Chains A and B, each alone.
Chain A
């Protein structure tokens, strides 16, 4: 079992091996469909992204509302495949780790290898459990998107499985 802390260092990313369990602590960004579409448009127009994406982690998730007295509501992963048309552009801008569920497209696998990134799997359909690993949650951008806005989370001991490593090895074959 491996542990990773943010800020990410090159060695940690390159050492990740497909299929192994990795325990993540530190800062990650939440973004899903509509936020990806917007970030993609921003990149296409040559404008600045709402946060510095270099060396960062994106978690594909749209949490429920936060119940009173809690840090965050239920917050499990959403299907990664839907972000795939926008992902290579984000990897090119410096995104290094992605967290989600399910397989990725050929293009994304290729881009993961090219930009020496990796893709991690979160316990799918376990949003209540995952909320226990979140220590802080803060809105970052696109608040008009409601549950699809970009949030910055601080997580502690978030258990993940390496789905695709920087060499392009894929758990789904």
Chain B
């Protein structure tokens, strides 16, 4: 049994918000650098260099990598042996507000989607998973809405071919065009239910960007990079830095596929208590 005070969680979340928004993930930066080195298109190369310079300035001067500091998505993996003293949800929301204030980030959250009203810091989408063990893992993913707006889900027939699935995912990226700040990281969720596939697509984005040798991943990466959208939509090879896929058991009658695109400023930070 491990006892964690809510105040501690607030402090950790606050620090994660600042880190995620100001320090670009190393695996993302590595992919951008590799894209820069291999890019032949002059304009695309210049755009990639601007992205690298931007990350350096942001880290050095503690500025947000992007002004859209997003709607923070918080993943919590809570061990069964953890006992929280206090209100967990409130502690997370407080941590978000504190971190965003400290970082001088943007007040991008409205309390009601239809009434809108004055925007503020106090909001997050929190997903909690109960796992075995005695630790609490928190991941903050500040997701900008330029790319979040391009998310899509499709309920395929269970007999759909992998070709049809690939075509759909590539089409989603094609329809995002240059709007969502390419080069992208494409999160894909396959299986579960409509809502769960969407969650998996989002969750795929917090996974490390490695080069998987899965046929589906390499086919998608190739297909997307053949779209010739390129950095800032200026053409070139780098439309997509990585495709991350998560899958889950599903029903014999269905095959949900969700796509969640991230801009090149894929930001997330984790801590384990």
Contact = CB atoms under 8 A, between A and B. Distances in A.
Contacts of B65: 74, 125, 127-128
Nearest to A124: B181
Interface stretch (A38-46, A61-69, A107-115): A61-69
Contacts of A34: 116
B54 A171 contact: no
Contacts, number: 129
Interface in A7-30: 19
B253 to A, nearest CB: 36
Given A64-B64, A64-B69, A147-B119, A125 B54 contact: yes
A73 B104 contact: yes
Interface in B197-234: 232-234
Given A73-B104, A81-B179, A172-B177, A127 B54 contact: yes
Instruction: Label chain A's interface by main secondary structure.
Output: loop
Interface string B68-83: 1100000000000000
Interface size class of A (residues with CB under 8 A): 35 or more
Contact of A61 (B55, B67, B179, B265): B67
Interface size class of B (residues with CB under 8 A): 35 or more
Contact of B51 (A64, A67, A125, A161): A125
Contacts of B165: none
A41 to B, nearest CB: 15
A127 B181 contact: no
Interface string B108-121: 10000000101100
A132 B180 CA distance: 23
Contacts of A76: 66-68
B107 A146 contact: yes
A66 B50 contact: no
A102 B178 contact: yes
Contacts of B118: 144, 146
A64 B67 contact: yes
A147 B108 contact: yes
B237 to A, nearest CB: 17
Interface centre among A81, A103, A125 (most CB of B within 10 A): A125
Closest 8 CB pairs of A and B: A102-B179, A126-B54, A128-B58, A129-B54, A74-B64, A65-B104, A127-B67, A125-B181
Interface of B: 43, 47, 50-51, 53-55, 57-58, 61-69, 103-108, 116, 118-119, 146, 149, 177-181, 232-234, 263-265
26 contacts: A19-B43, A61-B67, A62-B106, A65-B104, A66-B104, A70-B61, A73-B64, A73-B104, A74-B69, A76-B68, A78-B68, A102-B180, A103-B177, A124-B47, A124-B181, A125-B66, A125-B181, A125-B265, A126-B53, A127-B63, A127-B67, A128-B64, A131-B57, A131-B63, A148-B119, A161-B234
